[in-house]
Structure 1
Amino acid sequence: MAAAVRAGRRLSRAAAAGGELERAGVPRALCAELRAGPVVAFALLRRLHAALRDAGNPVYLHELLEGSEFDFPEVKKPPRNPELVARLEKIKAKLANEEYRRMTRNIRCQDVCRDGTLADLGRQVRSVKALIITIFNFIVTVAAAFACTYLGSQYIFTETAARVLSAVIVASVVGLAEMYVMVRTIEGELGEL
């Protein structure tokens, strides 16, 4: 925060010996303090303002300060505590390691090597085995529905064409239902990945 003003040309001329301030009745000691240096403290400006007001002078302080600039002191940063710096570095390293682990948690060496291991081979064999069993189950279910309908429809239809047509319709319905269940199951398994 500023506590002083760097005197402008107007204030320097007014404070000079025999200048406008001395003619206005401002005490010489105050004028000498104003001439002492390029930086004028706010306390000195308050005293000057009070002296101008007491003298009933038409010279105003804001006119004298025209062209002056605030003097901001240099801010000196305190030295950082070495313990705090070491602790912050440790925390930064820990956070970076956690973020790295989070980013790489689903990466395995086998995926990078692409050679595979016996565990990968076993997983693939189980997957193929499950697929073969599902296809075999589908074929057996559709064939059984066809056979049962063909044999059971002999009590309703006497002609072979009608019996075959009814068996195909029932087998198609059972096949579509089985396909629906398979798709839902595979969709659920893919959702878990």
Structure 2
Amino acid sequence: MASSLLVGERLVRALSPGGELEPEQLPGKLREEFEAVLGKKHKGGDRPAGPARLVSFRLIRDLHQYLRERGSTLYLHELLEGSEIYLPEVVKPPRNPELVARLEKIKIHLANEEYKRITRNVTCQDSRHGGTLSDLGKQVRSVKALVITIFNFIVTVAAAFVCTYLGSQYIFTEMTSQVLAALIVASVVGLAELYIMVRVMEGAETGGHPCSTHLDADL
């Protein structure tokens, strides 16, 4: 906080011998304090440099109060022409090494968290890539199961046709009747196999049991 004033040449000349404040007959104590701060002798244009020109606000207030009590025609703002408020440089205390080390650890931790957040999409892409391979494996297994089902269907229908044809020889004497009976039985078996196949495939797609799917359809 500012508590001093860097006085200008106007106040220095006024306090010098023969200056504007000499006729005001400043009290000895007040003049001594000003001279102790600004220097006892001001010859020519010489002036003390640096902190020697710093005057506290208290001295300025005492001077202003004295001039008002005497009814002087000198105004303080005129005497302070060219003066500036002195703001001392703020000296920063040294930082605690332990605190600095802790802050560095926190920065590293936050940087790692940010890196993980940024690279999270890359991990997801890898997961999706693995998921694509898994889906491909499932599709291959599904195709394999479909081929086996079709093969079983053909074998079942063919077996039904052959069995019916051979068994119908004991009933029918004509070959035409035997073939017709075998075709009818094979068609019935084929339709039944197709129905069961469709129900199984629907149950696999919906993730439910074929029986439950059948009941839901009936309801």
TM-score strictly above 0.5 = yes
Aligned mates of 1:81, 1:47 — CA distance in 2: 43
Contact 1:4 1:40 in 2 (8 A): yes
Equivalent residue for 2:65? 50
The CA deviation at 1:30 is 2.2
SS at match of 2:5: strand
Structure 1 residue runs of 5 or longer lacking an equivalent are 134-193
- Max Rg structure: 2
TM-score after normalising by structure 2: 0.51
Q: Using a 3 Å threshold, how does the CA distance of structure 1 residues 122 and 17 change in structure 2: closer, same or farther?
A: same
The residue that corresponds to 2:24 in the other structure is 24
Given the alignment, which residue of 95, 100, 106 partners 1:91?
A: 106
Write the deviation string for residues 39-60 of structure 1: whole angstroms up to 9, x where unpaired: 1110111111111112111111
Q: Which range is displaced more, 44-53 or 27-36? A: 27-36
Counterpart position of 1:122: 134
SS at match of 2:55: strand
Determine which of 63, 78, 103 is the counterpart of 2:118.
103
- Measure the CA separation in 1 of the matches of 2:8 and 2:28: 20
Q: Which amino acid aligns with 1:70?
A: I
| 124 and 24 in structure 1: CA distance in 2 versus 1, 3 angstrom threshold | same
The residue aligned with 1:189 is: none
Q: Output the amino acid matched with 1:90.
A: K
Using the alignment, how far apart are the partners of 2:75 and 2:93 within structure 1? 41
CA distances 1:163-182 after superposition (whole Å, capped 9, x unpaired): xxxxxxxxxxxxxxxxxxxx
Tell me how far 1:10 sits from its aligned partner: 1.0
Deviations, residues 130-178 of structure 1 (Å, cap 9, x unaligned): 79x9xxxxxxxxxxxxxxxxxxxxxxxxxxxxxxxxxxxxxxxxxxxxx
- Seen in structure 2, the aligned counterparts of structure 1 residues 130 and 8 have a Cα distance that, compared at 3 Å, is farther
Q: Give the unaligned 5+ runs of structure 2.
A: 39-52, 146-219
* Structural mapping, 1:23-172, within 5 Å: 23-35=23-35, 36-37=37-38, 38-108=53-123, 121-126=133-138
Asked whether the equivalents of residues 13 and 19 of structure 1 are also in contact (C-alpha less than 8 Å), the reply is yes
**Matched residue SS, 1:20:** coil
Partner of 2:42: none
Identity %: 54
Cα 1:75–1:130 shift into 2, 3 Å:
farther
Shift of 1:22: 1.8
Cα 1:34–1:130 change in 2 (3 A) is farther
Tell me the SS of whatever aligns to 1:40.
strand
Per the alignment, in what secondary structure is the counterpart of residue 64 of structure 2? Answer: helix
How far apart, in 1, do the equivalents of 2:59 and 2:134 lie? 91
Quote the Cα distance in structure 2 between the aligned partners of 1:9 and 1:29: 22
The alignment partner of 2:22 has SS state of: helix
**1:69-89 CA distance string (max 9 Å, x none):** 111111010111111111111
Report the TM-score, using the length of structure 1 for normalisation.
0.57
Retained in 2: the 8 A contact 1:21–1:31? no
